[in-house]
Each structure stands twice: as C-alpha cells, then as structure tokens.
Structure 1
Amino acid sequence: MAPIVYTLELKSTEAREAVNRLVASMSNRQGFYKNVGEHLLNSTADNFRLERSPEGIPWKRLMPKTIAKREKLGQVPITILRARGRLAGSINMVATNEETRLGTPVPYAAIHQLGGEIKKKERQQTIYQRYNPKTDTLDQKFRRKSKSNFARDVTVKEHVINIPARPYLGASEADEKIIVGIAEEWLLSENPDFK
C-alpha cells in the first residue's frame, strides 16, 4: 500500500481552456494555486463528512463484520474511512507557481481512493482464549493475551481482502466552475483592468 498524491486536471474542456487562458495572464500564479488548493481541501473534507466521491456518489457502506470489529476496538463503528480520523486529517496541499497537489502520506490512502485487493499470505498466529477447568470447556471467543489462560498456534490460510474504491480526492463539475471563478477573481485582484 502506498500514499497518494492527486494532481488535478480539469475534465471539462471549457473549464480547462478558460483556466489556462487566465493562468497565462497571471504574474503570481502561486497565490492562485494556493486558493485552488484551499478550496479542494474544503471540498475533500466535505467528501469525508458526506461519505461520498467528489462526483457525489455515496461510498459503499461498511460490512457488518467491519462495524462489529470497530465496536470491539472502541472506535466509531459506522463512519466510513474515519474510524480514527487519521486519513481524513492527513490530507495536505502543496501549491507552487505551476500546480496544486493534494495528497496524504498515510500508507493505506491509495487503496481507499482507488480500491483493490490485499493479498494475505498464509501465516502462523497465536490465538488466546479462556479455558474453564471446572467444566473442562474452552470458550471459543478470542481474547486479549492478558485476559486469557489458554493459547494455541493456528494457521491462517492465504486469503484476499477486497477493498472497494471510496474516492475522496478529486474535483466535481461544481468544483471546476469554482476554480474558473477563483482564476477570474485572482486575475482581477492582480490586474483590476482585466476583462
């Protein structure tokens, strides 16, 4: 798994041509790109809060198994991609005179943005349980080592975990129109006579 950097390329030909024309007239592009980055940071935060892609498509719901695991760990059980807030809180922006880039150093960021498979190799693992000597029974529930009085090694077979794509980085059509507006405003602030 790898971190991800998203470089925005406007999908709309009309928006792309308008921004390129406006940017070509700017003397200080970094300020414009910084404003675009700040807008996209806010838009990305909205995507996490609303649990949807930049295009407004709802993310796939959590599996009941995931919700149960989170509850057991004391995490928020139903929020998608925000069990601890690490990914959502790590989104950062870099603005230069040439571009705006959004990204995150979180190792599992790319697989959540793009989806994919995690292939787990067969491995040995120690599991911990409770043994009741009075009834000579073994409780099948797994426990923490500190709450266990019985341990055994088991083989966990090779398996694949499928992670659905839940895109959070990107720009919607509305974002693209806002970016054109940001370019126009920036150019007017630099050159009040520009039309």
Structure 2
Amino acid sequence: MIELKQEVAHVLAALAELDRRGEHREPLMRSLSGTMLDEVEQNFAAQGRPAWAGLAPSTLKRRQGGKVLQDTRRLASSIEPASDNDSAQVGTNVVYAAIQHFGGEIKRAARSQRVYFKQDKDGSVGTRFVKKSQSNFSQWATIGEHSVKIPARPFLVLTESGIQTMEDQAIRYLSEPWK
C-alpha cells in the first residue's frame, strides 16, 4: 500500500481565516459604503446617470446656469456613508431628499401673506420681491391653491460599474493573502 501524507496546517489556517472574515465583515462593509458614496457624488457631478430632468425655465432664469439639485449644495453635501458588520449604505437626513429622488407633486393650500418690495425714490414699486429687512413697501397678497410637480431625479443609485467595483471588493476581501 502506498500512503501519501501531506501537512495541511496551512490549509486549516486559511479556512479559519476565511471563517473569521466571514464573521467580521466591518472592513468590507466600510469599503462598500465608501464606494456607494463615491457613486452618489459622481451622480451629482454628472447631474444624473442617466441625466436628470432639466430645470424649469423660471428656475433657470433665477439660477443663471446653476446645476440641477445643487443650488446650495446642501443635499449633495448631506450624503453620509454608514456601515456595520451586516450592512453598508449611504443616505441623507435632508427633508426634501425623497421628493427630489422619487419625484412627486407638492400641493399648496391657498393662503394670504405679506409680500415685500423696494420702493424707488420716485414712488414706483419694483416687481421683484425682497427680504423684509430690505423692503420699504409691503402689501398683502392672496395666492390660490396650486400644485408643483417635481420630476424624479434619482441620486442614490449605483451604476453597473459601481456594482462591479463592489463585487470586486468583496472578492478581494475574502481572497486577499492572509497575514
């Protein structure tokens, strides 16, 4: 009878390390959430992938060529990664994020409010609203019930290449040489 003996200690050590990495996934999840954050930041930089719906003409006139969803950069800068042993994610706590991401209709009730203008020295009143502190003329205005439609501009999305990057990260995490 021929007998083959082989030392398998290194194989057992590798299996133990693989088991440990499978139980302790925090480093992988942290890496995945970082990739998700990169993807979302690229969505804002590209103004959507695919491109977001454009701005309304009235908004374009007021903005002078600003980027979609980036008037103040509040939404873009609010995106935060989060991870633990079992999950990786990105998100925002900005209240209006959902309507921007999914789109929808905002219904406004009729209301009356004081509006403020700047009155010129000759007594004429401009047609632009100003802040109360900059105003020297005001009057009451009634605004009827109306709705505003917001197109969907999904920013919390991953591209195919982003998903592939995340798959590659997981494979590397589980297969990189053990120390």
What TM-score do you get using the length of structure 1 for normalisation?
A: 0.73
- d(CA) in 1 for partners of 2:120 and 2:176? 76
Higher RCO (CA 8 Å, separation ≥ 6 residues): 1
Deviation of residue 62 (structure 1)? Answer: 1.2
Q: Percent identity?
A: 31
Q: Do structure 1's residue 39 and structure 2's residue 35 form an aligned pair?
A: yes
Q: Do structure 1's residue 162 and structure 2's residue 149 form an aligned pair?
A: yes
Distance 1:23-1:143 versus aligned 2 partners, 3 A rule:
farther
Q: Do structure 1's residue 64 and structure 2's residue 57 form an aligned pair?
A: yes
- Which amino acid is the alignment partner of residue 114 of structure 1? F
Structure with higher strand content:
1
- d(CA) in 2 for partners of 1:111 and 1:132? 40
1:179 pairs, out of 160, 166, 169, with 166
- Consecutive unaligned residues in structure 1, runs of 5 or more: 1-21, 72-76
User: Which contiguous aligned blocks of 4+ residues in structure 1 show a shift greater than 6 angstroms?
Assistant: 22-25
Deviation of residue 158 (structure 1)? Answer: 0.9
Q: Do structure 1's residue 29 and structure 2's residue 25 form an aligned pair?
A: yes
1:151: which partner in 2?
A: 138
- Which amino acid is the alignment partner of residue 32 of structure 1? L
Deviation of residue 138 (structure 1)? Answer: 4.2
Q: Which secondary structure does the structure 2 equivalent of 1:151 belong to?
A: strand
Deviation of residue 116 (structure 1)? Answer: 0.7
1:6-155 matches, within 5 Å, as: 26-52=22-48, 56-71=49-64, 77-131=65-119, 137-155=124-142
2:7: which partner in 1?
A: none
Q: Which moved more, 1:60-69 or 1:29-38?
A: 60-69
- Which amino acid is the alignment partner of residue 26 of structure 2? Q
Note if contact 2:39-2:159 (Cα within 8 Å) is conserved in structure 1: no
- d(CA) in 2 for partners of 1:178 and 1:184? 10
1:16: which partner in 2?
A: none
Pairwise CA RMSD of aligned residues?
2.5
Alignment length (residue pairs): 162
